[in-house]
Amino acid sequence: MVGGRYRLEKVLGIGGYGITYRGLDVRLERPVAVKEFYPSFWVTRFVQRGPEVHCLAGMEKNFCKGMERFLDEARTLVQLSNVPGVVRVNDFFEENRTAYLVMDFLDGKNLKEMSMGFGGRIPAEVLLPAMAPVISALRQVHEKGLIHRDISPDNIMMLSDGSVRLIDFGNARDTTNDKSMTLAMKEGFAAPEQYRSRGQGTWTDVYGICATLYYCLTGKLPPQAMDRLLGAPFPKPSELGVQIPGWQEQAILDGLDLYVQKRIQTMQELWQRLYVTPVTKQTTQITHEREETVISNRLDLSDSEARSNTDPEPMTDMEKLVLMGMQRIRSICAEIFQKLKER
């Protein structure tokens, strides 16, 4: 029991910096996910002596700095508690000489696991509607002056009802100040500027989202940004047999441009490029198995308004339209979840 109310029941995952448990909030009698800061290369635990962690010799400074970053993640997620599409933090505290983060328990699989259920590739007509709430959520995250910096299939959860959640804000940073940022790189999903301490912004998360789309569509990891700068081959999804409209494919490729100035800059712009057809710039079309629903929505944002994102209404309205496409994938997701459970 930690925090006086959370009973740890099962280890869900062990990473370099922590352990995630499935737990039970005994006060509210509901499942939760509890993340414990436990960097195994800095600390150890003597089970016979109790649950407290103990720093290895000479690692106290690193541990204290790392725990402060862990608590910063918790504070970041609390700021985003009202943003749909982002995992919700319910509590965080220090105990046992370390720190804990209590989140909603998500009954689902990450996109990497989901792609296995689709045979390694998620069809565009399933993936793109499913990712719409994540792009919308990131737009709202950016409006709060934060960038995620670690977007990948591992950090996007698809739940059994077909909804999605963005998780793991351990590398999130505030863009409202001019301080240099730590390096944060995940092979294939990190933008070139993430290999430097400056120059990161909303466009950095655009790269991560588009790299994730590329991976889920093709089943192939995008080449590292630095390798691409040196001329590594980078085939288009359509060249790998992916069935996708050309204008949506081009939006993904523009979001993966190596040069910041040429890349799609904001989630607002990425949304319009992915979900507003190039013919009228007003129509979002979602095709269902037995019916076709065509809904028009006018986006009259000027360039300056799009950059400032001061009026989120167009995105919110469009989100409601695109979310109608989730009806089509819920039954598919249920089938995939069943296949994964049977393995």
Give backbone dihedrals phi and psi of 291, rounded to 5 degrees, phi first.
Answer: -150, 160
Q: What is the pLDDT of residue 296?
A: 29
Rounded CA separation 200/107 (Å) = 33
- The tokens describing 281, both together, are 């710039």
What stretch(es) of the chain map to CATH 1.10.510.10? 108-342
Active site residue ranges: 150
Query: Can you spell out the DSSP letters for 227-248?
Result: HHHTT-----GGGGT----HHH
First-to-last alpha carbon distance for the chain, in angstroms, is 32
What stretch(es) of the chain map to CATH 3.30.200.20? 6-104
| Torsion angle (degrees, nearest 10) of CA 268, 274, 277, 278 | 80
CA nearest neighbour of 273 among 249, 240, 309: 249
* Topology classification of domain 108-342: Transferase(Phosphotransferase); domain 1 (1.10.510)
CATH, range 6-104: 3.30.200.20
Q: Residue-wise pLDDT tens for the chain (343 aa)?
A: 999 999 999 998 887 788 999 999 999 999 999 999 999 899 999 888 889 999 999 999 999 998 998 898 888 888 888 888 898 889 999 999 999 999 999 988 899 988 888 889 999 988 998 899 899 999 999 998 889 988 999 999 988 777 889 988 877 777 765 554 455 568 899 999 988 878 899 999 999 999 999 999 999 999 999 999 999 999 999 999 999 999 999 999 999 999 999 999 999 999 999 998 664 444 444 333 333 333 223 333 333 333 344 444 554 454 554 555 555 556 666 666 666 566 5
Contacts of 38 (CB under 8 A, 6+ apart): 17, 18, 19, 45, 53, 98
Give the CA count within 13 Å in the CB-facing half-sphere of 156: 30
